[in-house]
Structure 1
Amino acid sequence: MCLGIPGRIVAIVDEAAMLATVDVSGVRRTVDVVCVAAPGHPLAELVGAWVLVHVGFAMSVIDEEEAAATLKVLAEIGEAQAEIEAIRTGSVELPAAAS
């Protein structure tokens, strides 16, 4: 299963390519922030923002309270560790093909 998982933007890696470093429960990955960048504003404004990360993209900006609640629910249903590991390794597990 692929879920979006909350992470905090900690640095801008490449402004021209719209890439930032996101910390997801201690794991740092480079993600594309094109979906959350405000047109005409420097990406540096995103540093410190919480975002929902899915397959290498920051999909939406969320507040810290929503991030904490989402991480809690993911942990409770046993999905948090799998998603964090997918972010750590850069892999996404695809569902088995139907026969």
Structure 2
Amino acid sequence: MCVGVPMQIISVDGDQAVAEVDGVKREASLMLLNDEVAVGDFVIVHAGFAISKLDEEDARETLALMREVFTPESMG
């Protein structure tokens, strides 16, 4: 299963960014986004690409749901 993960941008250098969630940092290409992004913005990262920008409330809600679904207890 492939999942895009909401992550917060912590640095931007041209069309590359570093994004973070729960202390995990990943590089992400910004080439697929039409929207400008800046440090502090939230994006969905999938396969090394930021594929969508989203607001903080949606990002935090999605992360909470993902944590609930992907906890060891829910995995059986």
What range describes the TM-score normalised by the shorter chain of this pair?
0.7 to 0.9
* Stretches of 4+ aligned residues off by more than 4 angstroms: none
**Counterpart amino acid of 1:4?**
G
Q: Compute the TM-score of the two structures, normalised by the length of structure 2.
A: 0.82
Q: CA RMSD in A?
A: 1.7
Structure 2 matches for 1:13-28, cutoff 5 A? Answer: 14-15=13-14, 18-28=15-25
Question: Which protein has the bigger strand share?
Answer: 2
Q: Are the structure 2 counterparts of residues 37 and 11 from structure 1 closer, same or farther at C-alpha, using a change threshold of 3 Å?
A: farther
Distance 2:2 2:49 in 1: 13
Q: Compute the TM-score of the two structures, normalised by the length of structure 1.
A: 0.64
Quick one: percent identity of the two aligned structures? 38
Distance 1:4 1:22 in 2: 13
Unaligned segments of structure 2, at least 5 residues: 72-76
SS of residue in 2 equivalent to 1:72: helix
